[in-house]
């Protein structure tokens, strides 16, 4: 089915899986708001998509999903919610909101990096889900829609290389599953699903040898040899299945190079 005329927001859209998710949504006719804290890369990716799909179907907003409340000097010092403003601005400019992909995520396990991992992966995804529900629920003036939260296979299988990373991805899975069991959400036309990929060829995986990112990278390399490495495009096809299939809510879709796609059940 096509997503012609639908409006999507993708966080962490400047590169890697997020960029591939934007591409498949644009290819299927959606308008896409790219969100990323890397402004330079975000603008570059925006230019690529404008060239490929035209100027009116895509926009970029710089936003750090882990830091929604920021001080603004506008009209005196006050706290503004930049994350909320970002979603609202995209909905306003692109003319609606139907699809939210909470994809922004990082690795980082050490004393000086683990809290950032929790802030971005957990708080960023929870807040993105809340904003998606707020702007898409029919009882709040929306038209319904779908949220896909990007976890990882490392949120299902114990992860000796990254206990913090694994915990954040498990949290994403259970947060999303919990909402999917609340009838209020379905009654208001919102579906919520989880994508749990194994390794894909992106900057995140290239940074895995960095000792600040994970423990025992040698173990990860062994696991990687066993499960293989996917292209971002392969992962994007799985993502699109969760977006497109109107019957899918509460689904957890695992995908790995060697084993392919499999729906996970508890």
Ligand X SMILES: NC(=O)C1=CN([C@@H]2O[C@H](COP(=O)(O)OP(=O)(O)OC[C@H]3O[C@@H](n4cnc5c(N)ncnc54)[C@H](O)[C@@H]3O)[C@@H](O)[C@H]2O)C=CC1
Ligand Y SMILES: CCCCCC(=O)/C=C/[C@H]1[C@H](O)CC(=O)[C@@H]1CCCCCCC(=O)O
Residue ranges in contact with ligand Y by CB under 6 A: 107, 152-154, 157, 159, 161-162, 165, 198-199, 204-205, 208, 213-214, 220, 223, 227
Which is closer to ligand Y, CB of 230 or CB of 242? 230
Cα–Cα–Cα angle for 128, 129, 135, nearest 5°?
90
Q: Considering only 9-17, 69-77, 88-96, 129-137, which stretch makes contact with ligand X by CB under 6 A?
A: 9-17
Q: Considering only 48-56, 132-140, 199-207, 249-257, which stretch makes contact with ligand X by CB under 6 A?
A: 199-207
**Could you say which of 53, 74, 83, 165 is catalytic?**
165
Which is closer to ligand Y, CB of 90 or CB of 166? 166
> Which residues, numbered 235-264, are part of the site for ligand X (CB under 6 A)?
none
How far from 139 is each of 25, 73, 143, 182, 253, CA to CA, in Å?
Answer: 26, 34, 9, 15, 28
Sequence length of the chain is: 266
State yes or no: is 165 an active-site residue: yes
Q: Report the side by side order of strands in the sheet with 58-62.
A: 58-62, 31-36, 7-11, 99-102, 145-150, 190-197, 252-256, 260-263
Q: Is the C-alpha dihedral spanning 56, 239, 99, 101 positive or negative?
A: negative
> Which residues, numbered 203-242, are part of the site for ligand X (CB under 6 A)?
203-205
Instruction: Give least dist CB 157 to ligand Y, A.
Output: 4
Question: Annotated catalytic sites, by residue?
Answer: 165
């Amino acid at each position: 089915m096509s997503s012609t005329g639908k409006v999507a927001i993708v966080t962490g859209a400047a590169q890697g899986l997020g960029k591939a998710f934007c591409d498949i949504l644009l290819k299927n006719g959606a308008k896409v708001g790219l969100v990323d804290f890397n402004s330079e890369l975000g603008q570059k990716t925006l230019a690529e998509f404008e060239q490929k799909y035209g100027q009116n179907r895509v926009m970029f907003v710089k936003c750090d999903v882990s830091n929604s409340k920021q001080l603004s000097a506008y009209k005196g010092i006050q706290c503004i919610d930049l994350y909320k403003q970002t979603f609202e601005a995209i909905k306003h400019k692109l003319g609606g909101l139907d699809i939210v992909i909470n994809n922004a995520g990082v690795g980082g396990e050490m004393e000086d990096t683990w809290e950032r991992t929790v802030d971005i992966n957990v708080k960023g995804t929870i807040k993105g889900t809340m904003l998606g529900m707020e702007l898409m629920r029919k009882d709040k003036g929306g038209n319904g829609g779908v949220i896909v939260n990007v976890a990882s296979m490392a949120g299902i299988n114990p992860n000796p290389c990254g206990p913090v990373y694994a915990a954040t991805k498990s949290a994403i899975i259970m947060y999303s599953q919990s909402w999917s069991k609340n009838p209020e959400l379905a009654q208001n036309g919102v579906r919520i699903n989880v994508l749990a990929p194994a390794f894909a060829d992106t900057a995140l995986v290239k940074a895995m040898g960095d000792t600040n990112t994970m423990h025992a990278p040698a173990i990860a390399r062994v696991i990687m040899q066993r499960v293989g490495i996917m292209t971002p495009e392969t992962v994007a096809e799985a993502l699109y299945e969760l977006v497109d299939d109107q019957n899918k809510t509460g689904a957890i879709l695992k995908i790995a190079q060697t084993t392919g796609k499999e729906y996970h059940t508890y």
